[in-house]
Amino acid sequence: MNKLIKSGARFGDSILFTMEHMAWVDPLVPFAMTTGIGLIPVVWLLSGWAGAGLCSVWLLLLFVVLKTNEQIGLTHSLRSWLARHSSMGSPQPEEPHSAKVVINREAHNGVAKALAPPSRSDSGLTFRPNEVRSIALTPEAVGNVARLLPSNIKGQGTAIDMLIRALRRRCSGVSDSRQPISFLLVGPTGVGKTELAKLTAQGLGRTVERFDIGQLGKEGQHSGSQGAAWTLFGSPQGFIGGEGMLTSAVAANPNAVVLLDEIEKGNPELLDLFLAILDEGLAKDNKTNAVIDFSQTIIFFTSNLITEIPLEVQRNPSRARNLVLATAFLKPEMINRINHVVPLKSLDDEALRSIANDELQRFLTNAKAVGPAAQKRVGQSVIDLVLTRSDTKYGARDVKRVVDEIVGDPLSDALIFRGNRFPVKQVAVTARNGRIEVEVA
């Protein structure tokens, strides 16, 4: 059966190739395609079932030719003919800057690959139109970020300063506006890398498109590094799958903050696809062949591979790039295209205590019966107990877990015992003999 289908495909391609180079045949093409359908009832009346059967065979052969070409990838002549006769056989005018797609048909792991990434110097690129208006980076928006980050990211003053200065350079027009602003955030887990990206988006009034590189290719219909690439940039034409999640998200929202967590877990072939984005601000969706403009995005890569930032790098953050190069988890060409390598150090005792206090206040506020209007008092003994039971090597994440664990039960018991007689006005949390006590009034 496979041999029959392939033979049909080659036969159809030969016919269409002849049509491609013999202009006088073109007017006959629409007629030939409709003959099988239009003559079936006529032939049946004149010669019975035998004649109708021949017309049906002709129609079936035409269907097999078209469907097999669709499954194995449209051949050159079929693609050209369909482009010229996309509307009842009448030629369509070519849109300005239409894509000249060059496909490498020499199979590499069974996948047809584009020969080269898009470049702004190329003529004839088809850009997918933005679905929303691009938002310029303004001094007011950068000011919002500068006020928001220090109050929510503890112990990372140097990293915050590097990020703010980078945004100001783009806002003032000093940095290249054709490229996205890109950051590589390195440091141990739980120090605020992901939160830094999310709060930056919040301060700028932009949405976050987050992708966990470690999970890409593990779930869904595609697997491995190839599946991860197809998930982000779309599956090639002729293969199962749709548009890329990353390319379609940026096409829909060109101002997005793109967050790519745990970049060290990405396959080198996958990471190579980001070179054109970082260098030219462009990416091509494999399914649609449309070129997506990334120049207005802000891209954050994060990595937990460097578990401790050396003191000399903390004092001189510009050495962070050399630190990442020394670990060799990213290619030099990738690291050198990222605008800013930002180190985030381990949290010291002062930062952890501030985080514990903030988490306790947030936990109490989120309780429906308490609310933001109630007065909240948290004793230093409570913060001491939280830090004692936290594993500080996991940073802020373990502090949040411990707060929920040791305060949740006493708070719920106090609220249930009190009942709903009147609104809660005060909440006091203390620690005695290693136990949390909560009083509500």
Q: For residues 309 and 371, state if they share a domain.
A: no
Is position 330 within any domain? yes
Is position 134 within any domain? no
Is position 121 within any domain? no
Q: For residues 310 and 360, state if they share a domain.
A: no
Please say whether the beta carbons of 382 and 389 come within 8 A.
no
Distance CA 124, CA 64 (A): 33
Please say whether the beta carbons of 211 and 218 come within 8 A.
no
* pLDDT given for residue 419 in this prediction: 74
Per-residue pLDDT reduced to its tens digit, 225-280: 577 888 899 888 778 778 899 999 999 999 999 999 999 888 888 888 899 999 99
> Which residue among 296, 315, 343 closes a domain?
343
Per-residue pLDDT reduced to its tens digit, 345-363: 999 999 999 999 999 999 8
**Which letter does DSSP use for residue 87 in this model?**
B
Q: For residues 186 and 55, state if they share a domain.
A: no
Residue 374 sits in which domain range? 349-440
User: What CATH number has the domain bearing residue 255?
Assistant: 3.40.50.300
Distance CA 166, CA 163 (A): 5
How many domains does one find in the chain? 3
110: CB partners within 8 A, 6+ apart: none
The crossing angle, in degrees rounded to 10, of helices 28-38 and 40-47 is 50
Please say whether the beta carbons of 223 and 273 come within 8 A.
no
Q: Residue 64 above 70 pLDDT?
A: no
User: What number of other Cβ atoms are within 10 A of residue 418's Cβ?
Assistant: 14
Q: What predicted TM-score, i.e. pTM, was given to this entire model?
A: 0.69
Considering the chain, what percentage of its residues have pLDDT values greater than 70?
Answer: 67
Is position 127 within any domain? no
CA 295 to chain centre: 15
Please say whether the beta carbons of 292 and 284 come within 8 A.
yes
Q: For residues 233 and 304, state if they share a domain.
A: yes
Q: Give Dmax (Cα) for the chain.
A: 103
Least confident of 34-43, 81-90, 334-343: 81-90
**How would you classify the pairing of strands 435-440 and 426-432?**
antiparallel
